[in-house]
Amino acid sequence: MMKINGDRLWDRLMEIAQIGGTPNGGVCRLTLSEEDKKGRVLFEDWCKDLGCSIRVDAMGNLFATYPGKDPHLPALLLGSHLDSQPTGGKYDGVMGVLAGLEVIHTLHDQNFVPDRNIVVASWTNEEGARFTPAMIGSGVFSGTFSLDYAYQQKDKEGITLHDALNSIGYKGTDSVKPNEFQYALELHIEQGPILEREEKQIGIVTGVQGIRWYDIHISGKECHAGPTPMDYRIDPMQSVPLLLTELYKISEVFGEDARITIGYIDASPAVKNTVPEKASISLDIRHPNEDQLTKMHEFVLNVIQTIDKESKSAIALEEIWHSESVVFDDNCVHAVQQASKKLGYPHRRIISGAGHDSVYTSKVIPTSMIFIPCKDGLSHNELESAKKEDVIAGTNVLLHASLQLQHK
């Protein structure tokens, strides 16, 4: 039975982790940064050594094509992303890209020519850590976002995505169309604790939770902390505790499948002896059922409207992003399940709690994902860790699922 070269894959993971490596053992490789560029160049070099052609589209999405018997057939798409969180780990995203590379390297070693081209993709700005929204590279590819919209997005320094692409030389001209692909597969760490807790080596991903992102804006009146009596103030921070109390009731109302996260609270001006003029709260809600996510959205609207009426401050809700829940393709899910059984790895079906580029590829290409465990379920964290044997197992499943799908 064909197997990947696990040592080679692991060595590459550790090598690329040195690009943007952090003192605590993690990675900072923000999208379209110089570190991202170095990671892209290294990946390209590895692909070119196997005879792959490289294409870069107008969003900086990178595609390495390994030739099959019939280049006119729609290709098989593998891959993930090379960018990271500011304090990210060694496996999130990059493992899926290098696993795709390892699949074609294994075929190359075996002198095996697939029926169709196999393309390994690295998508731009999956993380959303520098530019909002997340997954914008695959989002433009799928037609969810326009190219102009993506180009206008700015980071915290006011740099546009368009200018950042140009600054590292990755604003391509290639127009890669979704109809060039037959199927898509993505290997990823779970980013949660379920597989590790249940001692399952492979997660067969059947879909992805729906996600909504918001900013809550609270407006008050800036004044001096000393002379201004409490009952005279219009203090936006006084609304924050009530908002948090009411919003966190989502988990009680909608049950264990519901997720709510307050990622940051910000006040302006941020001065110890001044009542702030403005406060902002980020809000992330998720659910695997789109109807339930819609009801959660309505719950949030009601909370905002109610507290706005009761508060001296004005409270407004801005929706930043909505990624609908996704059900993956049956053929792709079946291929992953058959590969897991064939290889004898303990496995279970699972729904992804995090968004991935596969959310958007699934809109235009039949898609599924493969998960492996990560220690303590930690991700978006420098302590993120995965066992070498699990990385190898996941990549072997990717290989055999690919072999099955490339015949279809």
pLDDT in tens, 326-346: 999 999 999 999 999 999 999
User: What is the rounded average pLDDT of the residues 114-121?
Assistant: 97
- Is residue 308 a contact partner of residue 315, using CB atoms and an 8 Å limit? yes
Q: Is the pLDDT of residue 114 over 90?
A: yes
Categorize the per-residue pLDDT at 83 as very low, low, confident or very high, splitting at 50, 70 and 90: very high
Spatial separation of the C-alpha atoms in residues 35 and 40, rounded to whole Å: 9
Question: What Rg value do the Cα atoms of the chain yield, rounded?
Answer: 23
What's the mean per-residue pLDDT of the chain?
A: 96
Categorize the per-residue pLDDT at 62 as very low, low, confident or very high, splitting at 50, 70 and 90: very high
Q: Is the pLDDT of residue 87 over 90?
A: yes
Q: Cα 212–214–215 angle (5° rounding)?
A: 170
- Is residue 43 a contact partner of residue 97, using CB atoms and an 8 Å limit? yes
Examine residue 269 and say whether the peptide bond preceding it is cis (omega within 30 degrees of 0). Answer: yes
Place of tokens 């590379």: 101
Q: Which two tokens stand for residue 58?
A: 């107008």
Q: Counting beta carbons within 10 angstroms of the beta carbon of residue 290, is it exposed (0 to 12), middle (13 to 18) or buried (19 or more)?
A: middle
Q: At what angle do helices 94-109 and 34-48 cross, to 10 degrees?
A: 10
- Amino acid identity of residue 65, one-letter, is T
Categorize the per-residue pLDDT at 223 as very low, low, confident or very high, splitting at 50, 70 and 90: very high
- The separation between the first and the last C-alpha atoms of the chain, rounded to the nearest angstrom, is 20
Nearest partner of 204 among 191, 188, 184, judged by Cα: 188
Q: Is the pTM of this model over 0.85?
A: yes
The phi and psi torsions of 330 (rounded to 5 degrees) equal -60, -40
Categorize the per-residue pLDDT at 355 as very low, low, confident or very high, splitting at 50, 70 and 90: confident
